[in-house]
Amino acid sequence: MMGLAGIGSLRRRQGLLGLVVLAAFMSCSMLVLVSGPDLSSEQALVRRVAELQARSQHLDALYRSRIADMRGLSQHLGQLVSTVNRSSPLSVEAQQLVRNLSALRLTLDDPASQPLQLPNAFHFMPHLLDAGFGGGAAGTLRPAFCMCGARRSGVSIVLGVPTVRRQVQSYLLATLDNLVSSMTPEESNDTLIVVFVAETELEYVKQVAAQIRDQFDNEVQSGLIELISPPTSYYPDLNSLRVTLGDSMERVRWRTKQNLDFAFLMMYSQPRGTFYVQLEDDILAKKNFISTMKNFALEKSAQREPWFVLEFCQLGFIGKMFKCVELPWLVQFFLMFYNDKPVDWLLDHVIFTKVCSPEKDHKHCKKAKSELWIQYKPSLFQHIGTHSSLRGKVQKLKDKQFGKVSLFFPHWNPPAVVDSDIKPYKQYTLHKAYMGESFFWGLLPQPGDTLTFRFHTPIFIKRFLFRSGNAEHPSDRLYNTSVEVKPMKPKRLDPGLGFNVTHDGFVVVGQFDGMGVCEGIVDFTLGAISIIRLYIHSESDNWAILSEILIEADNGR
């Protein structure tokens, strides 16, 4: 809770930012008058002004939120002081508190009447009151679990990634890897990714958090990635919902919970940045997508084009951008109708309510909505998941605006005879993958299976890279798999040199990581290598894809 001094400080910062915006605007105007044709400088300044205006709106929203908090605190303190005063005489300190409280209430409230109570989430979710969320520190609605590093705030873009336990396969780690690798260092420093594990089983939440920390420790520590989960008492009784739209009870529960999940994630993310983008846990992003989205949003603001949604993917709720200052409208709407319709329908209804007139035809409504719901083309995100979080639902949704996705990465490799114990699927053979013509796709690897590359002439290996899985099937990876080489002269395998040698004379030079990648070098003291192989140590629930094979020979030896 922020005190009066904190609110005053926030207000002063807001005023200073407003002056900066005005100064930047004046500078921009002077530049136009003086330089004339220097459009690049002019556009940069106009965009900077738009960014400062967006941040100013964000600070103003935070200020109004703190004022609301202080008003609530004022009322609670007033009730407390009245109760104490009736039960026993007030001390000198308490009397001073009453005087300060009176001054505070004169500042925040109309002294002539008791302030009216605005509708809030408790009107639509009364079970929260029964759970103790009516007031007090113990009753505050907060995440049940939070894996937070540097606790970033004031970033340009917050990415919300909700995820749930999936019955078939999870795409979450692959999605996070793609998001992180698609950002430049400048973009990652100005972004926050909030992973919302929409499960109340704490052990499962901690398991997901451990997996993310294991793969993305630097991103967690720096504050780029945070993970939260909701308290059990946040959800109403999902078995007592009204059946609507003629859906089955299972589907009603699924879409109702999704509405509440999105609302919680938005409430948590709202004060942390300028723009919020809703994603899913099974998507693929294009390179530099953060800058593209930010520049497009600032361009619309600079041109004074009002917007409520910027759409960077045509599918469902993926890639929908909102101003953080306007998220409370959306959250309130979701909480009002969470039992009635799916979340993407509710978003459409928000825009419909804002601009469509019952006295105008559908064509007019569609045009008016398009002015607030603006599409960006080509799409920046693609849906890669096949198995929905709704049990038994298979969805092969693809955004045609996204374009083609690279499913393999070809390389020139040294001449070799290749062989595999894993049966290939259709034409996706290991030979074609090694030649850079396609990717290898094999059925259910078993312990002891190998993928072998026997060189025509033994070579010194400078570097190797094996990448499993691809954009459309990110979970078809090689797990618990080692990369092993066989030197042409086994006498070099002196146990004193620390080599890990298998029973059949291979030296282990690498292990596939949790993302299905193994990259490394081969110690030159091993000499020329005649065979390199991948050895599978355990059974897999998925098929296996090898989308990149790179064996770089050291021709100088």
The answer to whether position 505 is within a domain reads yes
Distance CA 493, CA 166 (A): 46
Q: Which residues have CB under 8 Å from 292's CB, separation 6+?
A: 286, 312, 376, 380
Determine whether 465 is exposed, middle or buried from the number of CB atoms within 10 Å of its CB (0-12, 13-18, 19+): middle
Assess whether 244 and 372 both reside in one domain: yes
d(CA 252, CA 522): 56
**Domain region containing 166:** 143-383
Report the alpha-carbon distance of residue 407 to residue 390 in Å, rounded. 27
For residue 200, being part of any structural domain is answered with: yes
Same domain, 353 and 490: no
Q: Residue 80 falls within a domain, yes or no?
A: yes
Shared domain check, 270 and 228:
yes
> Which of these three, 119, 134, 154, is where a domain ends?
119
Q: What digits encode the pLDDT tens for the residues 145-166?
A: 999 988 999 999 999 999 999 8
Query: Of the candidates 408, 351, 409, which has an alpha carbon nearest to the alpha carbon of residue 375?
Result: 351
Residue 20 located in a structural domain: no
Q: End of a domain among 383, 405, 434? A: 383
In a domain, 188, yes or no: yes
User: Cα(408)–Cα(382) distance, rounded to whole angstroms?
Assistant: 17
Reported as type and span, the H/E element at residue 47 is helix 39-87
Residue 5 lies in a domain: no
The pLDDT assigned to 90 comes to 57
Residue 237 lies in a domain: yes
Q: How many CA atoms lie within 13 A of 286 on its CB side?
A: 19
pTM above 0.75, yes or no: no
Can you read off the two tokens belonging to residue 519?
């990259």
Q: Which of 391, 390, 437 is nearest to 412 (CA)?
A: 437
315 lies in the same domain as 189: yes
CATH number at residue 372: 3.90.550.10
- The encoded tokens of residue 502 equal 């298998």
Q: Give the CATH number for residue 487.
A: 2.60.120.260
Q: How many folded domains does the chain comprise? A: 3
What is the Cα Rg of the chain in Å?
29
- Asked whether residue 352 falls in the same domain as residue 218, the answer is yes
Domain co-membership, 286 together with 426 = no
Percent of the chain residues past pLDDT 70, beyond the cut: 75
Same domain, 375 and 510: no
Assess whether 109 and 155 both reside in one domain. Answer: no
pLDDT in tens, 91-105: 666 666 655 655 555
The last residue of a domain, from among 359, 383, 407: 383
What are the tokens at 237? 């009784």
Give the pLDDT score at 510. Answer: 95
Q: How far apart are CA 269 and CA 338, in angstroms?
A: 19
pLDDT in tens, the chain (557 residues): 344 444 454 455 445 545 444 454 444 444 443 444 455 777 677 767 777 777 776 666 666 666 656 655 665 566 555 565 555 665 666 666 655 655 555 555 555 555 666 777 778 888 887 766 655 444 568 899 999 988 999 999 999 999 999 876 788 998 999 999 999 999 999 999 999 999 999 999 999 999 999 999 999 999 999 999 999 999 999 999 999 999 999 999 999 999 999 999 999 999 999 999 999 999 999 999 999 999 999 999 888 889 999 999 998 899 999 999 999 999 999 999 999 999 999 999 999 999 999 888 989 999 999 999 999 999 999 988 665 555 545 555 666 667 777 889 999 999 999 999 999 999 999 999 999 999 999 999 999 999 999 999 999 999 999 999 988 888 899 989 999 999 987 766 665 567 888 989 899 999 999 889 999 999 888 889 999 999 999 998 889 999 999 999 987 66
| H helix intervals, 88-184 | 92-108, 121-124, 127-130, 172-181
> Would you say residue 532 lies in a domain?
yes
CB 531 within 8 A of CB 455: yes
Rounded CA-CA distance 226/155 in Å is: 14
Q: Are residues 528 and 426 in the same domain?
A: yes
Shared domain for 433 and 512, answered yes or no, is yes
Is-contact 189 196, C-beta < 8 A? Answer: no
Instruction: Give me 46's structure tokens.
Output: 């106009």
Per-residue pLDDT at 230 = 95
CB 196 within 8 A of CB 229: yes
What's the confidence (pLDDT) of residue 489? 79
Q: Quote the CA–CA distance of 77 and 61 in Å, as a whole number.
A: 24
Both 292 and 234 in a single domain? yes
- Which one-letter DSSP state was computed for residue 490? G
- Identify which of 322, 50, 273 has the alpha carbon closest to the alpha carbon of residue 155: 273
Let me know whether 375 and 439 are in one domain. Answer: no
The pLDDT of residue 20 is 47
Q: What distance in Å separates the CA atoms of residue 541 and residue 553, rounded to the nearest whole number?
A: 34
Cα separation, 557 vs 299, whole angstroms: 55
Strand 440-442, strand 544-553: pairing:
antiparallel
Spatial separation of the C-alpha atoms in residues 319 and 296, rounded to whole Å: 13
